[in-house]
């Protein structure tokens, strides 16, 4: 069994896969450190008791920076590179490392692999990734990286597997959930995406602002302090900040003017960013939706497509997100 590990700061998601990529079992743990489980090692022990002993493990790592642009077996050198990316993803990479190190403590000889959520966007041209900053500022790592790459890679793989020549040349992909982004996929390769240096930018999201003027961020930091400003931008904004709830089902059930505006804001900015990605591809052949909202909310899909109707009638697909299976597939390829 190949064990796929997705470790958050206080959560752990595990999935077991067979060699043919059939998912065998899964386990989820929340509130690690504040609930019944003291740390990730304890959660892993409980998860392994449920799922069984793996032959290898594969981890989701959110940020690979500019250097980690392909799946890799975890060595001391790779682990050091993941560690070096912590300033780029201070909320995510430390948790990912906790999962890697906890599993190594429990099973020192177990082969471990990593897949990077930023890697799919390594094919973006420099004109798409560079901010208009001087070299000294860029040297701090300030550039657009993009995220949800494992989800987009899974879309490409599933379309290619479904039938020969089934992948459109110019595909506009929306990953819509609590975190939301869009990606321009030209002949199977990412050429532009809406998230940037961090997962904060781009579309309106469940609790994140999406795009916001840099001077507005500086004003918030001045008024609230950097810590409170970061909390507001990442945890207290987006749909939650506009409509009082971070998920579409609650907003639709609320029926308030604020909730309706939040939904309109989400669809308007998804379409507006999507249209800019069409420019990056030089046209559009098809649109695909994935993620919790993208897969399950036809009203949201319809509203976004209505905004994009000026582009002409195009095929629209809905593909379930398969990030864990994509991670398993990448690890199995490396093992082979």
Last residue of a domain, one of 94, 116, 138: 116
Domain for residue 109, yes or no? yes
Q: Are 173 and 315 in a shared domain?
A: yes
Last residue of a domain, one of 87, 116, 145: 116
Q: In the block, which residue shows the tokens 């052949």?
A: 285
Q: What is the mean pLDDT of residues 6-33?
A: 93
**What is the residue-averaged pLDDT of the chain?**
96
Cβ–Cβ under 8 Å, residues 186 and 156: no
- State the pTM of this model: 0.94
CA count, 13 A, side-chain hemisphere, 8 = 9
Domain for residue 266, yes or no? yes
Domain for residue 333, yes or no? no
Domain range spanning residue 269?
Answer: 164-323
| The pLDDT of residue 35 is above 80 | no
* pLDDT tens sequence across 317-329: 999 999 999 999 9
| The pLDDT of residue 118 is above 90 | yes
How many Å apart are CA 147 and CA 303, to the nearest integer? Answer: 24
SS3 274: helix
| The pLDDT of residue 33 is above 90 | no
Q: Of 21, 17, 40, whose CA–CA distance to 30 is shortest?
A: 40
Q: Are 176 and 318 in a shared domain?
A: yes
Q: What is the mean pLDDT of residues 201-210?
A: 96
How many Å apart are CA 208 and CA 239, to the nearest integer? Answer: 8
Given 20, 105, 117, 247, the catalytic residue: 117
* pLDDT tens sequence across 262-287: 999 999 999 999 999 999 999 999 99
Phi and psi of 177, rounded to 5°?
A: -155, -155
Domain for residue 250, yes or no? yes
Length in residues, the chain:
336
Q: Are 82 and 191 in a shared domain?
A: no
Report the 10 Å Cβ neighbour count for 67.
11
**39 belongs to the catalytic site:** no
pLDDT of residue 263: 98
């Amino acid at each position: 069994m190949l064990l796929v590990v997705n470790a958050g700061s206080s959560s752990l998601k595990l999935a077991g896969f067979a060699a043919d990529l059939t998912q065998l079992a899964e386990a989820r743990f929340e509130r690690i450190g504040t609930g019944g489980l003291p740390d990730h090692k304890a959660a892993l022990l409980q998860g392994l008791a449920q799922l069984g002993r793996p032959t290898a493990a594969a981890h989701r790592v959110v940020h690979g920076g500019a250097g980690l642009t392909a799946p890799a077996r975890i060595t001391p050198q790779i682990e050091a590179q993941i560690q070096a990316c912590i300033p780029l993803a201070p909320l995510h990479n430390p948790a990912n490392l906790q999962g890697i190190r906890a599993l190594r403590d429990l099973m020192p000889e177990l082969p471990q692999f990593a897949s990077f959520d930023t890697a799919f966007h390594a094919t973006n041209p420099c004109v798409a990734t560079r901010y208009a900053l001087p070299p000294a500022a860029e040297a701090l790592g300030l550039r657009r990286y993009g995220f949800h790459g494992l989800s987009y890679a899974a879309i490409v793989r599933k379309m290619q597997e479904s039938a020969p020549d089934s992948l459109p040349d110019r595909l506009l992909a929306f990953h819509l959930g609590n975190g939301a982004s869009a990606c321009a996929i030209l002949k199977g390769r990412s050429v532009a995406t809406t998230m940037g240096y961090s997962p904060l930018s781009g579309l309106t999201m469940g609790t994140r602002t999406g795009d916001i003027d840099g001077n507005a961020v500086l004003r918030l930091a001045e008024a609230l302090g950097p810590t409170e400003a970061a909390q507001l931008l990442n945890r207290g904004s987006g749909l939650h900040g506009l409509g009082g709830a971070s998920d579409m089902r609650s907003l639709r059930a609320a029926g308030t003017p604020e909730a309706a505006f939040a939904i309109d804001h989400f669809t308007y900015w998804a379409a507006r960013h999507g249209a800019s990605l069409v420019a990056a591809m030089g046209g559009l052949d098809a649109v695909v939706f994935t993620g919790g909202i993208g897969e399950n909310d036809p009203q949201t899909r319809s509203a976004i497509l209505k905004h994009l109707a000026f582009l002409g009638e195009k095929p629209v697909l809905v593909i379930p997100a398969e990030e864990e299976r994509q991670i398993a597939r990448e690890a199995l390829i490396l093992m082979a």
